[in-house]
Amino acid sequence: MSASTAAATRRPPPWRDVRVLRVALQALFLLAVVSLVLFLLDNLVFNLRRLGIETGFGFLDQPAGFAIPDSDFRSSQSVRAAIFQGARTTLVVALAGIALATVLGIVVGVARLSPNWLVRRTAALYVESFRNVPVLLIIIFLYLAVFLRLPPIGRAVEWVDVFVLSNRGLVVPSLAGTGSTGPFLAVVVVGLAAAVATWIWRTRRFDATGQPHHRVLWALGVVVAIVAVGFLATGRPYGLSLPERGDLGVAHGFRLGPEYAALLFGLVLYTASHIAEIVRGSILAVSRGQGEAADALGLSPFQRLRLVVLPQAFRIMIPPLANQYLNLTKNSSLGIAISVYEVTKVTRVSIAQGSPAPQAIAILMLVYLVISLSIAFVTNLVNRRLALP
Amino acid sequence: MRVWRTIGLATLATAALLLASGCSLGGDDDDDNGGEAVATTDTTATTGGDTGGDGNLLSTVQSRGTLNCGVNEAVPGFGFVSQGGEFEGFDIDYCKVVAAAVLGDADAVEYMPLTAEQRFTALQSGEIDVLIRNTTYTASRDGSEGATFLTTTFYDGQGMMVRADSDYQELEDMAGATICVLSGTTTELNLESQFNARGVDYTPLAFEDNDPLQQAFTAERCDGWTSDKSQLAGIRSNWPDGQGGPDALRILDVTMSKEPLGPVVRDGDTTWASAVNWAIIATLQAEEFDISSENIDEALGSDDPEVQRFLGQPVEGEAFDPGLGLAPDFAVEVIRSVGNYAEIYDRNVGPDSALGLERNLNALWTDGGLHYPPPYR
């Protein structure tokens, strides 16, 4: 008996022990990868030094020397400030693009399943044409063939102070702060908080008593009332800035430039065609029994879509949608082809003006990594909230 | 099981330490290789690019048999692809000059068209041996870009081109204008500093290459197009008749900057730099001696010892070899196959060509210009 228990607890020698081997091989592999990375880094540093190119990140403090249009950036500011300005543009394009592409994609995706033949065919035509063309071509086409063909500034289309349309952009009235805007913004925040509170109150009341909640109307009413009172009480701190057409451009107002518009709409049209296919696939993946049950309950087709099918389809479509959002963000770098100063263009210009390429591109990749990870994080949260328990 | 976890953690910690000690991309003082934990890097680290290390590019090019020349493909007169698919231009001819001097064959050139943003990275990585692409000599390019600039071949200046029907005469008239420019060039920086210095407000529109830029200018998206005056002259000469031809455009009489254009090589290889430099200088010296591709054969029999020395002909004994690594009579091949500076200039950008540029600053010092070839002795 003592012999058998001794045999059961005796370990095999290390070179035959599978537990040791597992750990040892993984450790060796990790060491090999780390050594390779260090070798490559060392090679890079050696070659940069040999060429006399700096190997540090000091270039970030150098003055940029180039201007960035449509911004407050001055050429005497540092390269770091230029990269931040570019990153801000990328972020705005990405967020606006994601929002617009999602809306358009859902509409077209649902349209592809419409019982109406014309609607269905038009949606299919849109999806097939835009999905199969490289997005760069869509962007360049929109710019060269659509937006540049608008009338030049001398023959701009204008409508009495409301908008001015030319190939230098569409200018609409904007809000301009005329006094101290701080107190008003505080009032706006208070108004939004009150609206959220109202929404929750009305929903609770509906849950308790069953009476219609009209929560959207209530929340909107609360916000509008508080903001209006605050606006008058703080002395009307915002005024309308109306566009005035000059010979070379339009002063005041908010301008949507042709380059920016071409990039944004190109990205939206392309990504929406992909999102439409994802939406269509997700709707088809919801079991038919759900749709039939909704019909049996007497729901109209719109109610069936809105209350039964789409909520279940959303759960399925979140991961592929996240993928499309990341693609859109990265595709925004195609703005370099039409002079949109997003972060890739700013980095390339600064490299051409003397910043060392390896470090600058590493920073560029880091910017995209941060933006992409944030988008992925948010979509993961949504995914987890919607997941079946 | 605690034992395995400890071993695993210990391995991870070692790996992390190695990585942390290896991350010294910045802030190192000048020790030999930025000495890292990995010991194998010294001899094997010189794997970057085609050069094979310092001082070797001349022999590498000669053994390879072709010259990799970084050029432009979109500037008429300097670097342009003709209808037949051939590269032609002032800078292209200088690629041929270098090939004739180094390899003895002016056609042994591999032309690599590059954009303004790519050119220095291509040079630094060894993708090209020499960059002859209307590149301006500046301090930051000499310093932080790791480039060595050779003899200036073309003294140019930056100008502004506008539509002929607009009435701009000076830069101050262009307040509020939108100006198209190529991105990644000294032009972009000069535009910014010139307009700032005059306190004039403008909007830049910087494109990667000339095609969308030309579309935007034609569509009246921008009011001015700024670039080197020689480039503007070339573009104007090629302006399509459907849009009014060259008369639809006007180049302002304003010079916004100095733009000395010349060939560029990588830092760290002085043998290659000297060899290419003297190939360039040979064309200027040939013009000074009045030797052209037409009278080269008579010049070979000349009595003038200066000419004899320049052409590498033996004068009472051995031919003169200045130790550049080139054949003693390299100038003969250069002049015979490409020509002297005057022929290269007149053929591509001269008064009788489409660009119609007078010599002015680009004449020899004896004619009031800036070209002053150092003595060949």
pLDDT of residue A172: 87
Read off the pLDDT band of B22 (50, 70, 90): low
CATH code for the part of the protein at A79-147+264-386: 1.10.3720.10
A211 exposed, middle or buried (CB, 10 Å; 0-12, 13-18, 19+)? exposed
Written as six digits, the tokens of B36 are 């890292």
pLDDT of residue A55: 83
A16-74: pLDDT as tens digits: 888 889 999 999 999 999 999 999 999 988 988 877 778 888 899 988 888 888 888 88
User: Is residue B46 assigned to a domain?
Assistant: no
Q: How far is B298 from chain A (nearest CA, A)?
A: 45
Query: Is the interface score ipTM higher than 0.90?
Result: no
Task: State which of B258, B274, B296 marks the end of a domain.
Answer: B258
Q: Which of B12, B184, B196 is nearest residue A352 as measured by Cβ atoms?
A: B184
State how beta strands A163-166 and A157-159 pair. Answer: antiparallel
Q: How many independent structural domains does chain B possess?
A: 2
Distance of alpha carbon A343 from alpha carbon A361, whole angstroms = 11
Distance of alpha carbon B374 from alpha carbon B359, whole angstroms = 20
Percent pLDDT > 70 in chain B is 89
The one-character DSSP state at B301 is T
Q: Is B8 helix (H, G, I), strand (E, B) or coil?
A: helix
Tell me: do B120 and B170 sit in the same domain: no
User: Is residue B115 assigned to a domain?
Assistant: yes
Q: Which long-range contacts (CB under 8 A, 24 or more apart) does B21-30 make?
A: B22/A34, B22/A37, B22/A38, B22/A41, B22/A42, B23/A41, B24/A45, B25/A41, B25/A45, B25/A55, B25/A56, B25/A57, B25/A359, B26/A55, B26/A56, B26/A57, B26/A58, B27/A56, B28/A45, B28/A55
Q: Does residue B39 surpass a pLDDT of 50?
A: no
Mean local confidence (pLDDT), B317-343: 92
Tell me: do B150 and B266 sit in the same domain: yes
Q: Give the domain extent around B142.
A: 57-154+260-367
Which chain B residue shows the shortest CA-CA distance from A359?
B25
Mean local confidence (pLDDT), B109-126: 91
The pTM is what? 0.79
Phi, psi of B263 (to 5 degrees): -70, 155
pLDDT of residue B55: 61
Tell me: do B147 and B166 sit in the same domain: no
User: Is residue B34 assigned to a domain?
Assistant: no
Which of B221, B222, B266 is most worth mutating to test chain A (most A CB atoms within 10 A of its CB)?
A: B221
The one-character DSSP state at B161 is E
Distance of alpha carbon A333 from alpha carbon A54, whole angstroms = 26
B187 Cβ contact list (under 8 Å, min separation 6): B158, B181, B226, B227, B228
A116-165: pLDDT as tens digits: 999 999 999 999 999 999 999 999 999 999 999 999 888 888 887 778 89
Asked if A43 and A344 touch (Cβ cutoff 8 Å), the reply is no
Give the number of A-B residue pairs with CB atoms closer than 8 Å. Answer: 187
Q: Is B80 helix (H, G, I), strand (E, B) or coil?
A: strand
**Alpha-carbon dihedral sign for residues B305, B309, B311, B312:** positive
Are residues B11 and A27, on separate chains, in Cβ contact within 8 Å?
yes
Task: Express the helix, strand and coil content of chain A in percent, nearest 5 each.
Answer: 70, 5, 20
Task: State which of B204, B234, B258 marks the end of a domain.
Answer: B258
B268-278: pLDDT as tens digits: 899 999 999 99
> Across A152-161, A166-175, B125-134, which has the greatest mean pLDDT?
B125-134
Q: How far is A43 from chain B (nearest CA, A)?
A: 5
What rounded mean pLDDT belongs to chain B? 86
Which chain B residue shows the shortest CA-CA distance from A40?
B45
Q: Check residues B37 and B278 and name the one with the higher pLDDT.
A: B278
Task: State which of B208, B241, B258 marks the end of a domain.
Answer: B258
> In this predicted structure, which of A87-91, A172-176, A311-315, B25-29 has the lowest mean pLDDT?
B25-29
Identify the H or E element spanning B155: strand B154-163
Structure-token match 């680009």, residue found: B362
Distance of alpha carbon B319 from alpha carbon B188, whole angstroms = 48
Are residues B184 and A339, on separate chains, in Cβ contact within 8 Å?
no
Which of B9, B25, B141, B205 is most worth mutating to test chain A (most A CB atoms within 10 A of its CB)?
A: B25
Mean local confidence (pLDDT), A80-89: 94
Read off the pLDDT band of A244 (50, 70, 90): confident
pLDDT of residue A6: 52
Mean local confidence (pLDDT), B145-161: 93
Give the CA radius of gyration of chain A: 29
Phi, psi of A377 (to 5 degrees): -65, -45
Q: Does residue B237 surpass a pLDDT of 60?
A: yes
Which of B5, B23, B38 is most worth mutating to test chain A (most A CB atoms within 10 A of its CB)?
A: B38
Strand-pairing partners, residue B178, are B203
Ramachandran area for residue A117 (φ above 0: left; ψ -120 to 50: alpha; else beta): alpha
Are residues B18 and A34, on separate chains, in Cβ contact within 8 Å?
yes
Tell me: do B161 and B147 sit in the same domain: no
Q: Does residue B279 surpass a pLDDT of 50?
A: yes
Side by side, the strands of the sheet bearing B87-88 are B74-75, B79-81, B87-88
The one-character DSSP state at B245 is G
Tell me: do B192 and B271 sit in the same domain: no
The one-character DSSP state at B221 is S
Tell me: do B313 and B359 sit in the same domain: yes
Give how far Cα A15 sits from Cα of A8, A27, B9, Å: 18, 15, 20
Distance of alpha carbon A155 from alpha carbon B68, whole angstroms = 49
Contacts of A65 in chain B (CB under 8 A): 189, 192-193
Tell me: do B184 and B319 sit in the same domain: no
B340-359: pLDDT as tens digits: 999 999 999 999 988 888 89
Task: Tell me which residue of A264, A246, A68 sits closest to A171, measured CA to CA.
Answer: A246
Q: Check residues B68 and A185 and name the one with the higher pLDDT.
A: B68
pLDDT of residue B29: 40
pLDDT of residue B42: 37
Tell me: do B95 and B146 sit in the same domain: yes
A184-227: pLDDT as tens digits: 888 889 999 999 999 999 999 998 998 888 888 999 999 999 98
Q: Which long-range contacts (CB under 8 A, 24 or more apart) does B345-349 make?
A: B345/B90, B347/B93, B348/B77, B348/B78, B348/B88, B348/B89, B348/B90, B348/B93, B349/B77, B349/B78, B349/B90, B349/B230, B349/B233, B349/B234
User: Is residue B38 assigned to a domain?
Assistant: no
Are residues B206 and A41, on separate chains, in Cβ contact within 8 Å?
no
User: Is residue B325 assigned to a domain?
Assistant: yes
Q: Check residues A78 and A72 and name the one with the higher pLDDT.
A: A78
Which chain A residue shows the shortest CA-CA distance from B206?
A339
pLDDT of residue A289: 94
Amino acid at B173: D
Cβ neighbours around B82 below 10 Å, total: 10
Asked if B212 and A144 touch (Cβ cutoff 8 Å), the reply is yes
Q: Check residues A253 and A328 and name the one with the higher pLDDT.
A: A328
pLDDT of residue B31: 39
Tell me: do B226 and B269 sit in the same domain: no
Phi, psi of B335 (to 5 degrees): -70, -40
Which chain B residue shows the shortest CA-CA distance from A350?
B184
pLDDT of residue B43: 38
Q: What is the dihedral of CA B3, B9, B14, B20, to 10 degrees?
A: -170
User: Is residue B136 assigned to a domain?
Assistant: yes
Distance of alpha carbon A216 from alpha carbon A65, whole angstroms = 51
Tell me: do B165 and B149 sit in the same domain: no
Q: How far is B16 from chain A (nearest CA, A)?
A: 9
Tell me: do B312 and B362 sit in the same domain: yes
Q: Is A169 helix (H, G, I), strand (E, B) or coil?
A: strand
pLDDT of residue B211: 87
pLDDT of residue B51: 44
Q: Which of B26, B144, B212 is nearest residue A53 as measured by Cβ atoms?
A: B144
State how beta strands A169-172 and A163-166 pair. Answer: antiparallel
User: Is residue B42 assigned to a domain?
Assistant: no
Tell me: do B202 and B323 sit in the same domain: no
pLDDT of residue B20: 66
Instruction: Calculate the CA A79 to chain-centre distance.
Output: 24
pLDDT of residue B350: 92
B169-223: pLDDT as tens digits: 888 989 889 999 998 888 988 999 899 999 998 999 999 888 899 999 999 999 9
Written as six digits, the tokens of A17 are 């022990």
Q: Which of A47, A259, A348 is nearest residue B184 as measured by Cβ atoms?
A: A348
Give the CA radius of gyration of chain B: 25
pLDDT of residue B21: 63
Q: Does residue A345 surpass a pLDDT of 50?
A: yes
> In this predicted structure, which of A195-204, A275-284, B51-60, B216-225 has the lowest mean pLDDT?
B51-60
pLDDT of residue A109: 95
CATH number of the domain bearing residue B333: 3.40.190.10
Beta strands in A150-192 (DSSP E): 157-159, 163-166, 169-172, 174-177
Phi, psi of B277 (to 5 degrees): -60, -45
Distance of alpha carbon B242 from alpha carbon B312, whole angstroms = 53
pLDDT of residue A177: 78
pLDDT of residue A7: 54
Distance of alpha carbon A75 from alpha carbon A353, whole angstroms = 12
